[in-house]
Structure 1
Amino acid sequence: MRKRQLGQSDLYVSEIGLGCMSLGTEEKHALSLIDKAIDLGINYFDTADLYDVGKNEELVGKAIKHRRNDIILATKVGNRWREDQSGWDWDPSKAYIKEAVKKSLQRLQTDFIDLYQLHGGTIEDNIDETIEAFEELKQEGIIRYYGISSIRPNVIKEYLDKSSIVSIMMQYSLLDRRPEEWFSIIKDKGVSVIARGPLAKGLLTDKPLNQKLKGKGYLSYTNEELKAFLIKLENIDPSHSMTELALQYCLYQDVIGAVIPGASKIQQLIENVEAGSSERLSAQMYDKLQQIAKPGQYEQHR
């Protein structure tokens, strides 16, 4: 598995990571997926305290505790579950972050987190206070580096200007090219993008077309536009599967530190790793893919 440096950190992550949200809560199954991912060369695992009310962190912690030093472990903070677990509220305060990290460490059965990410963010937040919390956690050795998980341009700009983030997690795929507008700015700051949702909820996999089209479209694509796009994608390059095209499209830009598709089955995991390890796209093929996919940009939070 090829690796990339995350920002200007000393974290070298597998190009294909595992988004752990899709592991489920059945322990044997979840542990088998993580074991298989490690066997396949994945060293980067992304979870969050929000997922399954902390259960996801517990499963990840159990799976990696005997090989912790071989793993780049990422988790997230900022969404505070209510006591009755009826939902959660946004809380990026310093007090909450420093309280929440202790609970994450316990669930993950570790004494440090490689990458601690703010799980959202608004321009109304006290961003200076949030940054201060992460910087103190770095100084205390509790976290090695920090990043944000946000698609809001105004929030991203604030953290690029004010903080020492090494990564920004953004939804990014051939069907959601909105982040590309910011790639040059992010790269100039020495920060990496972590691409979540690179397979666009399975639309960019090799499943049959009739299983993917449910009459709802996707983001700015109507169902008719989506169908036309997928038919073009199926026929654009016989040397690559659709999953390969999707993941290699994301990996083409060196500002991308890793792509993190989820996988709820072993076979999906294998297909993702094989696709991520496949032949790189030529510049000509990359341009062809850009010609058939809408560029797009974020209209809100600018």
Structure 2
Amino acid sequence: MKKQRLGQSDIYITPLSLGAMSLGKDKQKASNMIDEAIYNGINHIDTADLYDFGENERIIGEAVKEKRHDIILTSKVGNHFNKEKKEWFWDPSPAYIHQAIDASLKRLQTDYLDLYLLHGGTIEDPIDDIIETFERLKEKGKIRAYGISSIRPNVIDAYVHRSNINAIMMQYNILDRRPEELFAKIAEKDIHVLARGPFAKGILTDQTIVQIEKKAKEGYLSYAYEQLKEVLTSISSFQKSNLATIALQYVLQQDVVRSAVFGASSMDQLNKNIAAYTSEKLPPDIYIQLQSITKQLLYEQHRL
């Protein structure tokens, strides 16, 4: 897989990233899956301090400690959690960020994070203080770059124009095209998107019927159940590639999207997701057809 630069940083990541949230708590299984992802060319692993209340970071730290310099490691911050009570609250204060980064580094058994993301964010946050805190962490060598994980247009706009972020993680797939309205603004600042959920909860895979019945019986976003089935049938009808390949190609079509961040809970699922990847771009006419079949949804809340 060809690596590409993330924002204006010196970080280069692969077009596929392994999202670690679904790896589970079986340490050997998680380690095997991480090894398999790396063997297949993936160099970026994404986690968060909140996943399993820190246990996810701990498992990843153990799995990658011997190959730390071969991977790009991302974690997130902002959810102040109590592992014993399994409770958390939003806390993006500088004091908590400084506390949280040290805890994450310890769990991950590393001296630094390649990318540190604010795990959410509201327009009421002390944004300038948060930005200054991330900059201080860069100066101290605890992080190489920073960004946000958000789908709130007003929050994204604030960080795009007031900070030196290199990446924005957003849910983006062929059924959830809401981020597209922000792409021009993001690209203009030489910031890149990490697209989480490229397979839309598994709906955009060879398990589409099973997953629709399991996770989208009430629909998906503004797609009603029957409409969703019709759209997916249409998408599958004019391409020789499988649905998962089309899903990845669509997400990665625009240069502003640097990587598709997918999760996997089994080795089989991991390998199927990796096998769906192709470096080939969609032909322009097919890309336009896909856009005509699907909806150009817009974010309804947290507008500018």
TM range (shorter): over 0.9
Counterpart check, 1:253 vs 2:282:
no
Q: Which residue of 1 aligns with 2:268?
A: 267
Counterpart check, 1:169 vs 2:169:
yes
TM-score computed with the length of structure 1 as normaliser: 0.97
Structure 1 residue 208, shift from structure 2 partner: 5.1
C-alpha change, 1:208 and 1:137, in structure 2 (3 Å) is closer
Structure 1 residue 210, shift from structure 2 partner: 4.8
C-alpha change, 1:89 and 1:207, in structure 2 (3 Å) is same
Deviates more, 1:74-83 or 1:117-126: 74-83
Q: Residue by residue, what CA displacement relative to the aligned partner does 1:8-55 show, whole Å, maximum 9, x if unpaired? A: 111110100000001001111111110100110010000000000101
Q: Which amino acid aligns with 1:221?
A: Y
d(CA) in 2 for partners of 1:232, 1:274: 22
Q: Which residue of 1 aligns with 2:280?
A: 279
Describe the SS at the equivalent of 1:276: coil
C-alpha change, 1:298 and 1:208, in structure 2 (3 Å) is closer
d(CA) in 2 for partners of 1:227, 1:194: 27
**Runs of at least 5 residues in structure 2 that lack an aligned partner in the other structure:** none
Q: Which amino acid aligns with 1:289?
A: L
Structure 1 residue 209, shift from structure 2 partner: 2.1
Question: Could you tell me whether the CA contact under 8 Å between 2:173 and 2:247 is conserved in 1?
Answer: yes
Question: Could you tell me whether the CA contact under 8 Å between 2:75 and 2:117 is conserved in 1?
Answer: yes
- RMSD in angstroms over aligned alpha carbons? 1.1
Q: Which amino acid aligns with 1:248?
A: Q
Q: Which amino acid aligns with 1:224?
A: E
Q: Which residue of 1 aligns with 2:87?
A: 87
Describe the SS at the equivalent of 2:130: helix
Q: Which amino acid aligns with 1:244?
A: T
Structure 1 residue 280, shift from structure 2 partner: 2.2
Q: Which residue of 2 aligns with 1:220?
A: 222
Q: Which residue of 2 aligns with 1:200?
A: 200
d(CA) in 2 for partners of 1:30, 1:192: 28
Question: Could you tell me whether the CA contact under 8 Å between 2:50 and 2:81 is conserved in 1?
Answer: yes
Q: Which amino acid aligns with 2:282?
A: L
Q: Which residue of 2 aligns with 1:233?
A: 235
Counterpart check, 1:47 vs 2:47:
yes
**Runs of at least 5 residues in structure 1 that lack an aligned partner in the other structure:** none
Structure 1 residue 83, shift from structure 2 partner: 6.0
d(CA) in 2 for partners of 1:208, 1:62: 34
C-alpha change, 1:190 and 1:208, in structure 2 (3 Å) is closer
Deviates more, 1:149-158 or 1:58-67: 58-67
1:59-78 → structure 2 map (5 Å cutoff) = 59-78=59-78
Structure 1 residue 189, shift from structure 2 partner: 0.5
C-alpha change, 1:87 and 1:122, in structure 2 (3 Å) is same
d(CA) in 2 for partners of 1:110, 1:166: 21
d(CA) in 2 for partners of 1:278, 1:83: 41
Deviates more, 1:142-151 or 1:79-88: 79-88
d(CA) in 1 for partners of 2:101, 2:208: 43
d(CA) in 2 for partners of 1:83, 1:13: 31
d(CA) in 2 for partners of 1:5, 1:170: 18
Question: Could you tell me whether the CA contact under 8 Å between 1:80 and 1:91 is conserved in 2?
Answer: yes
Deviates more, 1:263-272 or 1:49-58: 263-272
d(CA) in 1 for partners of 2:3, 2:293: 29
Count of residue correspondences: 301
Structure 1 residue 5, shift from structure 2 partner: 1.2
Question: Could you tell me whether the CA contact under 8 Å between 2:53 and 2:83 is conserved in 1?
Answer: no
Q: Which residue of 2 aligns with 1:153?
A: 153
Q: Which amino acid aligns with 1:204?
A: L
d(CA) in 2 for partners of 1:296, 1:98: 37
Q: Which residue of 1 aligns with 2:15?
A: 15
